[in-house]
Amino acid sequence: MRGPGELIVGLDIGSTKICAVVGEVFQEHVEVLGMGSAASTGMRRGVLVSIENTVEGIRSAVAQAGEMAGCEVGSVYVGISAAHVSGFSSPGILTINNREIRQKDVQAVIREAQSVKISDNQQIIHSEPQEFMVDHQAGILNPLGMSGVRLATNVHIVTADVTALRNLTTCCNRAGLQVAEVVLESIASSRVLLDREEKERGVALVDIGGASTELAVFSGGAIKHVWHYGYGGNSMTSDLAQGLSTPMHEAERLKLMYGGAIASMIKDNFVIDVPSTGDRKPRKLSQRVLVDILEARLTEILQEVNKELISSGFHKRISTGLVLTGGSSLVPHIADLAEHIIGVPVRLGSPRGLAGRVEIVESPRCSAALGLVLHGSRQLAGAALASQGGMGRLKRWWKELW
């Protein structure tokens, strides 16, 4: 028999890997119980190309996680890439006739903001209040208990492509799973990688995955901007394969063993064996040649991130800097390169606020799945508190969310 905690499963379906994490939710914390992963052969650059292959990968990853956790998995929180989403700000206004603002007023003004018309091929997946205004007072994070004539809000709406949502749900259903919620991966990752002060003062979260790089900007406690760039770790591997005339699988191995982000930090006399294609003999090359190739691609990716931050107007609004995650954030000295190019403090993301078998999910490759578990735990907490009622409980829940 299991204890009193409720189980939540996060499922990250990437273009190179599928990761599932099982967590148990208690009143004060979340414990990691199990993790599973499988190669993702049914996705290409964030686009589904084979339902059958994706279903097989989901089954394998979820089965591993369930076996490690000692449980059966029936439903999952699933991540969706920024490649399929768009975001915009929408206002909501509610007349409250000079009385105290209650929970139902806050819900009503958010619904008003959500009533904006969107295209038929889009569906709202997130609605995050940026701030509230009571009469002429702006910048309010929690209006509960205040009094006024008019309550207004600006809500950041995130919509996703309906076809992408339907395909994700279909794959999970065919793998025998129900979808509890589809969540933007960067929002999920932020739950476990960013602290409250960073999200309040302004921070950029950059996920350099296998097939792509994704940027999310948080400020004032909420997400403000998302962006997708179609190059990531796989492009680095392809560059190595071409530049070193070596097979792709050998290029990946060399990248993991000898990779780096700054060639000038590599000794010129350190030589590595590079397998050749076909029947040719392996060659000996300076490690610096390999790192030169990786640095060029990483520089391009980080320059594009910097351009997006500047053009979107958020570069000057990330006062706490930038956090790197994703498999390619493991490349040595990548934080130094990012600081040089973007000109803000940079740190590597690491999971926080968890208990249990945290050692099995320390890799940044698991951040999204882990964040999905934490997101699911907050959804459960919010639903439980709302059903119990009480202004004090609601205020505590609101404080946690912000």
pLDDT per residue of the chain (402 residues) written in tens, 0 to 9? 445 568 999 999 988 899 999 999 887 778 899 999 999 999 987 788 999 999 999 999 999 999 999 999 999 999 999 889 999 999 999 999 889 999 999 999 999 999 999 999 999 999 989 899 999 899 898 999 999 999 999 999 999 999 999 999 999 999 999 999 999 999 999 999 999 999 999 999 999 999 899 999 999 888 999 999 999 999 999 999 999 999 999 999 999 999 999 999 988 789 999 999 888 899 999 999 999 999 999 999 999 999 999 999 999 999 999 999 998 999 999 999 999 999 999 999 988 777 777 777 777 888 899 999 999 988 876 555 455 554 444 444 444 444
- Tell me if 231 sits within 8 A of 212, measured CB to CB: yes
CA 39 to chain centre: 19
Predicted pLDDT of residue 232: 94
Domain residue spans of the chain: 85-159, 198-349
Q: How many helices (H) and strands (E) does the chain have?
A: 11, 19
Q: Which residue has the tokens 């369930």?
A: 66
Predicted pLDDT of residue 386: 54
CA distance 177 to 360: 23
CA distance 314 to 218: 9
CA distance 219 to 200: 5
- Containing H/E element for 292? helix 287-311
Query: Residue 64 is encoded by which pair of tokens?
Result: 């591993």
Backbone angles phi, psi at 199, to 5 degrees: -70, -30
For the segment(s) 198-349, the CATH number from 3.30.110.30, 3.30.420.40, 3.20.20.70, 1.10.620.20 is 3.30.420.40
> Distance of CA 32 to CAs 80, 305, 356, 380, Å?
22, 32, 5, 16
CA 312 to chain centre: 20
CB within 8 Å of 153: residues ≥ 6 apart? 91, 92, 109, 110, 113, 129, 130, 131, 132, 133
Q: Which residue has the tokens 């040649």?
A: 289
CATH topology assigned to domain 85-159: Dna Ligase; domain 1 (3.30.1490)
Q: What is the DSSP string of 12-41?
A: EE-SSEEEEEEEEE-SS-EEEEEEEEEE--
**157-80-35-22 Cα dihedral, nearest 10 degrees:** 40
- Tell me if 212 sits within 8 A of 15, measured CB to CB: yes
Backbone angles phi, psi at 301, to 5 degrees: -60, -45
C-alpha closest to that of 125 among 65, 81, 191, 175: 81
**Burial of 108: CB neighbours in 10 Å, binned 0-12, 13-18, 19+:** middle
- Tell me if 11 sits within 8 A of 18, measured CB to CB: yes
Backbone angles phi, psi at 3, to 5 degrees: -75, -165
**Burial of 119: CB neighbours in 10 Å, binned 0-12, 13-18, 19+:** exposed
The radius of gyration of the chain from alpha carbons, rounded to an integer in Å, stands at: 23
CB within 8 Å of 24: residues ≥ 6 apart? 2, 3, 5, 6, 7, 8, 30, 31, 33, 69, 356
CA distance 395 to 374: 20
CA distance 191 to 377: 10
CA distance 90 to 118: 11
Query: Residue 291 is encoded by which pair of tokens?
Result: 């790192």
Query: Residue 130 is encoded by which pair of tokens?
Result: 């940026």
The CA-to-CA distance between both ends of the chain, in Å, stands at 35
CA distance 184 to 322: 19
Predicted pLDDT of residue 186: 94
